[in-house]
Amino acid sequence: KKFIVNLETTEIEAEIADGKKYTFWTFNNIVPGSFIRIRVGDEVELHLKNAANSVLPHNIDLHAVTGPGGGAEATTAVPGQEAVFTFKALNPGLYVYHCAAPPVPMHIANGMYGLILVEPEGGLKKVDREYYIMQGEFYTKAKTADLLEFDNDKGNTEIPDYVLFNGKKGSLLGKNMIEAKVGETVRLFVGNGGPNLVSSFHVIGEIFDNVYPEGGSVVNHNVQTTIIPAGGAAIVEFKVDVPGEYVLVDHSIFRAFNKGAIGKLKVTGEENAKVFKKGGSK
């Protein structure tokens, strides 16, 4: 099949944490950028438009692309310009895409990343729930009392102020929790935009039935925590057997509780005392 994918690079001010805003650089006004889903063998015509009010040229490097720069050179566009290139998806897997315009670290650190899924022939097996989660770290300094911007010196030290899921503290908490029902199978597409840190992805109180490490074709079973490198991804699948709130973390645990890499999966349904029971006989 042939697909046309449209992405626009934009620079926006949005809340990052605790009433603070940040100047994000984005694909389609969101961090992470839009989830792209195709199948192996598909031909993709990708249109990348750089918004007229952008400060710098932008482009896109898709790790799913076989070709120079993953498409970066072919899509470099100055503000107000649109670039187009085509590619054929040769390898199945879950891949990161990101801006690769100079200075590359700054573009990625400002939120210019997302995931592209290339499904195998016949597609992935059906599950009940699918969610898109992407970790990234942010290196900040105050521009005004309420607005933060990128701090290159902190980026060089690799000590971020925030390590977040989906670009915002609390993006997967409270009313934003992901949800499932007892007996359902959940599939998480988990990426790590970096730009620097490796993620140790873990769901407290669950064991991953299947993990596709680094987004590839190998499947591991019965996994507690999976490593996701900067610029990498993983697919995790698990069945939920007991109701409750399950905490998603980067198990480099200070990042979860002190820097924001924490979320929740809310599971509703009947209790199952054979699997989990509070209390018990004395």
Longest dimension (CA), the chain: 72
Q: Is 74 helix (H, G, I), strand (E, B) or coil?
A: helix
Residue 168 confidence (pLDDT) above 70? yes
pTM over cut 0.85: yes
Q: What is the mean pLDDT of the chain?
A: 97
Strand segments, DSSP code E, in 146-277 are 147-150, 162-165, 178-181, 185-194, 199-204, 208-212, 220-223, 225-228, 232-239, 244-250, 262-268
Q: What backbone phi and psi angles, to 5 degrees, belong to 67?
A: 155, 165
Q: What number of helices (H) and strands (E) belong to the chain?
A: 4, 21
Number of residues in the chain: 282
- pLDDT tens readout for residues 252-261: 999 999 999 9
- pLDDT tens readout for residues 17-71: 989 999 999 999 999 999 999 999 999 999 999 999 999 999 999 999 999 999 9
pLDDT score recorded for residue 268: 98
